[in-house]
Amino acid sequence: MKTVIFAGGLGSRISEESHLKPKPMIEIGGRPMLWHIMKIYQKYGFNEFIVCLGYKGYIIKEYFMNYFLHNSDVTINLANQEMEIHKSPKEDIKVTLVDTGLDTQTAGRLKLVQQYIGQNEDFMLTYGDGVTDLNIDELVEYHKNHGKLATVTAVQPPGRFGAIATQEDGSVSKFIEKPTEGAEWINGGFFVLSSKIFNYLEGDMKNVPWEQQPMKGLQKDNQLVAFKHRGFWKCMDTLRDKNELEKLWISQKPWKVWS
């Protein structure tokens, strides 16, 4: 089963870094966010990816074209222009990089990679800025069992601020650090989709977000089901998020499900 990753947006809310590179190439622990996402899927045996490029897509192409150069020791002989690669990492990953346009919205990007997915095949889809400890096998099994066209992973992100619990007289009974209990479930990405969802992408989709007309159409037709994930999930939307992920990688690595 192939996995499509949206990686073409401008990343304007993290412009401190995205003015130099696309958001999925911003590094956490010295590795691009895109690499972390692929490693999550690879852990469960899903190692074929289709990446929807747009803003500064050439940087993503360059990274994978020179993957071994980026991640290996090298000896370069300037006299005869030869290069020897040492300790080359082996990654069982196949990546198809597709230019889906600078200004194309997510539904349009998905439609443009249809030819690389194959007919009558289920596939996965996610965003290039979110990581999780989600069990992908359980997600796929859930999708197969319910028989609908689309499954979205629903998550409850912790609140940005801690909460205070009080008694009737106003005295503080306890502090709650970034509570999730009672929080709304939101779209966490990590979709599993039937190829039949392309019927919801007919016509000009260039200016249509995947989260609007297509997903609302699937919901209206009772073809969209949520897989509730209560474990770790976090997206990198702002520089604050990036710094928090960096700290988590140093201390806990909560989304590092691979060995």
**CA-based nearest residue to 72, from 61, 62, 60, 86:** 86
**CA-based nearest residue to 245, from 23, 57, 15, 7:** 23
User: Please, are residues 113 and 98 in contact by the beta-carbon 8 Å criterion?
Assistant: yes
User: Please, are residues 9 and 23 in contact by the beta-carbon 8 Å criterion?
Assistant: yes
pLDDT value at residue 174? 66
Cα maximum dimension of the chain: 82
User: Please, are residues 160 and 179 in contact by the beta-carbon 8 Å criterion?
Assistant: no
pLDDT value at residue 148? 96
- The amino acid present at 258, given as its one-letter code, is W
Residue 125 CA to residue 170 CA, distance in Å, equals 47
Could you give the angle at the alpha carbon of 224 between the alpha carbons of 119 and 41, nearest 5°?
60
Supply 225's token pair: 């089901």
Directed axis angle between helix 136-146 and helix 33-43, to 10°?
70
Supply 208's token pair: 């249509």
pLDDT value at residue 70? 84
Distance of CA 167 to the CA centre of its chain: 42
Burial class (CB in 10 A: 0-12, 13-18, 19+), 161: exposed
Supply 128's token pair: 């290039």
Q: Which residue has the tokens 């060995």?
A: 259
- Bridge-based pairing of strands 163-166 and 172-176 is antiparallel
Full-prediction pTM beyond 0.85? yes
Per-residue pLDDT of the chain (259 residues; tens, 9 = 90+): 999 999 999 999 999 999 999 999 999 999 999 999 999 999 999 999 999 999 999 999 999 999 988 888 989 999 998 988 887 777 899 999 999 999 999 999 999 999 999 889 999 999 999 999 999 999 999 999 999 999 999 999 877 655 556 667 665 566 666 656 656 899 999 999 999 999 999 999 999 999 999 999 999 999 999 999 999 999 999 999 999 999 999 999 999 999 9
Residue 47 CA to residue 2 CA, distance in Å, equals 7
Q: Which CATH class is domain 3-154+185-251?
A: alpha beta
Residue 252 CA to residue 234 CA, distance in Å, equals 14
Domain coordinates of the chain in residue numbers?
3-154+185-251
Residue 80 CA to residue 244 CA, distance in Å, equals 46
